Structure 1
């Protein structure tokens, strides 16, 4: 079986492009998140649209990812663990909110920093949380003329 040098060269170029694309896709998805991080936890009433790998943002900047989600059978709340890049100090009176990227966008975990001079440490829990707001329930309230007076 003979191999044409042009075909071997073209195959090498295609293989190199595929590897470069795979590396780029992994970095863009945050799979190869470099650097040290520490874990924080929070408990939500509703975690709709959030799963493992979801972005954790502070002031719109990605500072970590959700690393664990499980239902607490005693409280019926979603216990969540997320990692935050080392060196980012989050005040201990901060709150965590499930936010949406827009009307049709996905959800992400947003940290709303407090004003305390003391920072959270690895393993701490953020108590002040606000779960996801369902767009469907808001539309139903609007259409039904939800009068709360």
Structure 2
């Protein structure tokens, strides 16, 4: 009889810990929807921005990316995101896709403007800067360096005028 009471108490304790963990996990997830108001921004490139990603102002998380889609009229990436209540963004604020680190993920960075009027819920940030592709930058650097080395120095190896040196030495 004493053994069954200990097992019952132990089972109740395990269930209580499991319920506490589920409550904690639910609070940390985005299941409950956005806490705040939603805004939208359109980018030429939104590489690396994922739903559930951070929205930051001055490096501090103030919201979450809620949706990312393609605008069929402009062919631009439309990114919907939430901003915490109490943080009012001026209408001339700007948004950019920023990198957390060289190999890390990306987040949406908001730079507040100085206008007296604030964005309304559902409003759009019109000043945007798209993500920078590190692969494109490396490719441009490699090909620009290769082009300047083989570019107009002449010589037999690069297909220049190899016979010019022979003409100088063979002239009377």
The count of residues paired between Structure 1 and Structure 2 equals 145
Alignment of 1:25-104 (within 5 A): 25-32=25-32, 37-104=36-103
Distance 1:105 1:97, change over 3 A: same
Give 1 or 2: higher helix fraction: 2
Does the residue aligned with 2:136 lie in a helix, a strand or coil?
helix
Does the residue aligned with 2:97 lie in a helix, a strand or coil?
strand
8 A Cα contact 2:34 2:66, kept in partner: no
Which has the higher relative contact order, 1 or 2, with Cα contacts under 8 A spaced 6 or more apart?
1
8 A Cα contact 1:27 1:33, kept in partner: no
What CA RMSD, in Å, does the superposition of the two structures yield over aligned residues?
Answer: 2.5
5+ residue gaps, structure 1, are none
1:51-83 CA-to-partner distances (Å, cap 9, x unmatched) read 222221111222111222211112111112211
Distance 1:75 1:31, change over 3 A: same
Partner of 1:137: 136
Does the residue aligned with 2:117 lie in a helix, a strand or coil?
coil
Give 1 or 2: higher strand fraction: 1
How far apart are the structure 2 equivalents of 1:95 and 1:144?
Answer: 33
Distance 1:107 1:4, change over 3 A: same
Partner of 2:122: 123
- Is 1:7 aligned with 2:2? no
**Which of 1 and 2 has greater Rg?**
2
How far apart are the structure 2 equivalents of 1:99 and 1:137?
Answer: 16
How far apart are the structure 1 equivalents of 2:10 and 2:142?
Answer: 60
How far apart are the structure 1 equivalents of 2:135 and 2:24?
Answer: 36
